[in-house]
Structure 1
Amino acid sequence: MSDIRPTALVTGASTGIGAVYADRLAHRGHPLILVARNREKLDALAARLRAETGVRVDVLPADLTQPSQLAAVEARLREDETIGLLVNNAGAAAHGAFAQADADAFDALIRLNVTAVSRLAAAAVPGMLARGGGAIINIASVLGVAPEIPLGIYNATKAFVIAMSQAMTVELGSRGLYVQAVMPAATRTEIWKRSGRDIETLTGVMDVDKMVDAALVGFDRRETITIPSLPDASQWDAFETARVAMIQNFPNAEPAARYAA
């Protein structure tokens, strides 16, 4: 199979959502650059995908919480002119109330879920624009709009990913860059075990293959926001309509009358 599609760089590619994205994109004919910490798992996945699809698959082991290793991935995004798709998937979860917060754990989570995501997007955008366009898939979460579900700072990191994706769309969509924020609900991946939660205690957990396949339907439709588990898209549309309606009321030189003493 010839490399006729743009190269896709996928972070968090060794397991879970990232590994399924790698599988699906390889079968669509995209050459791949797979990024994750576990070199052994990356090599095994790369070997399988090369055998099954014939596409070029490179591995780039990196811990994206480490500045020097993150910088190496940023450099690849800036310098590799074949890259036309970034799947910003690498992330972690943490749980617990703010009253018992572990500040160091919060910092590590922000470095992976916020700093790495934004720096990789920033590294990818200039080259994509110079080449006439590209696409970025940012894996967010429904928890980004659900602070009622108590997972500490995790919800806030995913709210950032949603807002960043929307801001990129407003700024860059007319210039040929497509940005999709995918908002999964509970999905059956290793992230639960790593965060210390028992997935078997949860209801409505979606199989990871089904989640990614649904997200790719949204990608093909060029959705800005894709929520695989949401049956009625009009609910998100109403949410967005209400949000946008508020914007015209923000620029006021005086406090609203409801705040009069």
Structure 2
Amino acid sequence: MRLNVLAPTLLASAAIGGMVARGQGAIINVASVLALLPEYAPGIYAATKSYVLTLSQSLAAEVSSKGVYVQAVLPAATRTEIYERAGGDISQVPDVMEVEDLVDAALIGFDRKELVTIPPVPEAATWEAFEQARWALAKGFSNSQPAKRYRP
């Protein structure tokens, strides 16, 4: 909670005012693909990574017009010491990305000004379809009555 929720919140809060005042700046937050697939991770980890993603999206909506770029990077399995520290065996995890490849991809996404960069996903259209579905769902949020399927 401290690392994945409190730290990015406090750091963004501390930095964003100066960035807005200057009319420029950037924030890169590292979330996880588990933000989109919480069923794949035990416990609270995926929830905290979902927070990082939504924090990034919310901040971008708030400050992108003021010259501040916000990026969320969503890695999948990446070869880091976290597995060892958690008592796991990285050799048992399929399709692990190397850190250098992840960083290079994240920086390419940064240069392209992507709000969400998901290095292992082959087609950008996949994320774009997800976003379109999310916005289509949002169209129903402002109805004053329950949907017909929920009425007696």
Q: What 5-or-longer segments of structure 1 have no aligned partner? A: 1-109
1:163 to 29, 33, 54: 54
Of 19, 22, 26, which aligns to 1:131? 22
Q: Could you tell me the TM-score, scaled by structure 2's length? A: 0.97
2:39 match: secondary structure: coil
Count matched residues. 152
Stretch deviating more after TM superposition (245-254 or 234-243): 245-254
Q: Which residue of 1 aligns with 2:74?
A: 183
Structure 1 counterpart of 2:111, one-letter code: D
- Cα displacement string for residues 199-239 of structure 1 (whole angstroms, at most 9, x for unaligned residues): 11100000100110111000011110001111011111000
Q: Please report the TM-score for the alignment, with normalisation by the length of structure 1.
A: 0.57
CA distance in 2, matches of 1:174, 1:196: 44
* 1:198 alignment counterpart: 89
Counterpart of 1:136 in structure 2: which amino acid? Answer: I
Correspondent of 2:41 among 150, 167, 181: 150
In structure 2, distance between residues paired with 1:235 and 1:158: 20
- Equivalence for 1:230: 121
Deviations 1:129-151 (A, max 9, x none): 11121000000100000122033
Distance in 2 (alpha carbons) for counterparts of 1:138 and 1:253: 36
- The equivalent of 1:140 in structure 2 is 31
The alignment-based identity, stated in percent, is 56
Greater RCO structure (CA 8 Å; 6+ sep): 2
Structure with the greater alpha carbon radius of gyration: 1
Higher helix share: 2
8 Å CA contact 2:34, 2:41 repeated in 1: no
Q: 1:79-98 maps to which residues of 2 (within 5 A)? A: none
